[in-house]
Structure 1
């Protein structure tokens, strides 16, 4: 196989990264529209949260990339270069999280919105990684040299870990593992959650009861998705040839550790952790 693997559609010759990144955004967004629950959210609030998500993700993905090699970043900045190239998924996820939370606080919206994003993100990221793999060396998402049977020669004669494929497999397995949580999150539409949040909320110390039959802690699906993905990235980064300048860790691993600590705090019940949803026969009709 010769990398990059261009996609030929008639007379068109499309770069794989461009094609699959576009597909990841398009398909992920369509899945979100298809699976999201009714929220009763005013259009203005929805636009504010969307703007916060996009802005936070764009800034986070680039800011974290700049810390991959601070000396190189500073050299380019001192020479007057604009650093628009390069971005990271972890930075985008964590930046988008910060953007969403700030926008929700600004708009006065208290209900959790994360659960509806978990599966669109999983599918979109898996599709995007196909483009990363087919792009080869120029994408810089491959792993270190290896003698494993999984090794792939991206065109320079060196067998490397195809970390892009490892991530696709992980995301598909995660989708299967989280499916029971996904089904439980569908039992009550967000509009009902928002209308009755004052009567359904429990103190943080009682959050453990959400695991009992008939209850669901809103936001748990997204929290497990983020914790699992950040843990995977923390580990997989050890077999990537990026600079590990921070005590044997790289920039992405530091961000992963911060994110894992945050979501571990939420999952422990000490954080806000969403609202406790009590399922009832009437509510179960909302399952899709």
Structure 2
């Protein structure tokens, strides 16, 4: 584990460093995508601000929710300061933050296509911090299992020195692959904004599956809190995907008729 990085003589928390780097990378990709699509405008800056604020709030509040049990409730202030930084809570908070920000300024244009590739690559970078600071996963006999020192934070079901799933490596690989697929799909969908829907759906399925290799505590029916969070989310996403599929919203845009192209060229 690498809890701190030495940068120019300064000790910087590893997890926070890579989360910040991931946000920076996402901002660069988002800016490049807005320029590519000719959508550089202040409304999108407001949407990004809403995503950052909502994501920060969602991560902190999800840390508080994860601690709720019958033995007592931690104070909201303490959870804000020390709560776990849940990726799922951050994504939900960022999504709500964008919606609220756009509502406040009366901006109705879809922005999901701008966010999807940026979020995927930013998540891949941010997860490097998790890989270097958190318990990797549950015990495994697979040849690529990794071990963690005794100082690793609590890992339910894990034994110090025993090979464990490199669950964060799985997620980094998924996010990098998702980024490439999203770049390939971004001009191949007829419905604006649905690129983000496909990304969230793909990540939800992956995250539910990868939780079986993670070191998270199971709470009911051998499922973790993130998995129970994802159950209703997956149902809603399935309904939306089926609805959009039947209406052809995931079809490639139809090419412009040749006659129309000739007319526009002659003009």
TM-score (norm 1): 0.72
Asked if structure 2 preserves the Cα contact closer than 8 Å seen for 1:32 and 1:116, the reply is yes
RMSD across aligned positions (CA): 3.2
- 2: CA distance between counterparts of 1:10 and 1:54? 27
Which residue does the alignment assign to 1:93? 91
Asked whether 1:148 is paired with 2:148, we answer no
Q: Aligned pair in 2 of structure 1 residues 77, 262: CA closer, same or farther (>3 Å)? A: same
Verify the 8 A CA contact 2:61 2:79 in the aligned structure 1: no
Is 2:233 aligned against 1:259?
yes
What number of residue pairs does the alignment pair up?
Answer: 244
State which of 155, 161, 164 in structure 1 corresponds to 2:165: 161
Q: Which runs of 5+ in 2 are unaligned?
A: 151-160, 262-267
Preserved contact between residue 143 and residue 240 of structure 1 (Cα < 8 Å): yes
CA change 1:131–1:82 in 2 (3 A) is closer
Deviates more, 1:52-61 or 1:143-152: 52-61
Paired with 1:50 and 1:88, the residues of 2 have a C-alpha distance of: 19
Q: Distance in 1 between matches of 2:73 and 2:248?
A: 42
In structure 1, the residue matched to 2:155 is none
The separation in 1 between residues aligned to 2:64 and 2:71, in whole angstroms, is 6
Determine the structure 1 residue equivalent to 2:177. 173
The 5 Å alignment of 1:230-241 reads 230-241=204-215
**Uncovered stretches (5+) of structure 1, i.e. residues with no partner:** 186-215, 284-288
Secondary structure, aligned partner of 1:70: coil
What secondary structure does 1:67 align onto? helix
Which structure has more relative contact order (CA 8 Å, sep 6+)? It is 1
- TM-score, normalising length: structure 2: 0.77
| 1:110 partner SS | coil
- Asked if the contact 2:117–2:183 (Cα under 8 Å) also holds between the matched residues in 1, the reply is no
The equivalences for 1:1-288 within 5 A come to: 3-4=1-2, 6-36=4-34, 37-39=37-39, 41=41, 43=42, 45-46=43-44, 48-71=46-69, 74-77=72-75, 81-85=78-82, 86-135=84-133, 139-140=134-135, 142-156=136-150, 157-184=161-188, 216-269=190-243, 280=256
Within 2, Cα distance between the matches of 1:101 and 1:26?
Answer: 21
Specify whether residues 255 and 274 from structure 1 end up closer, same or farther in structure 2 by C-alpha distance, changes over 3 A only.
Answer: farther
Question: In 2, Cα distance between the equivalents of 1:69 and 1:247?
Answer: 19
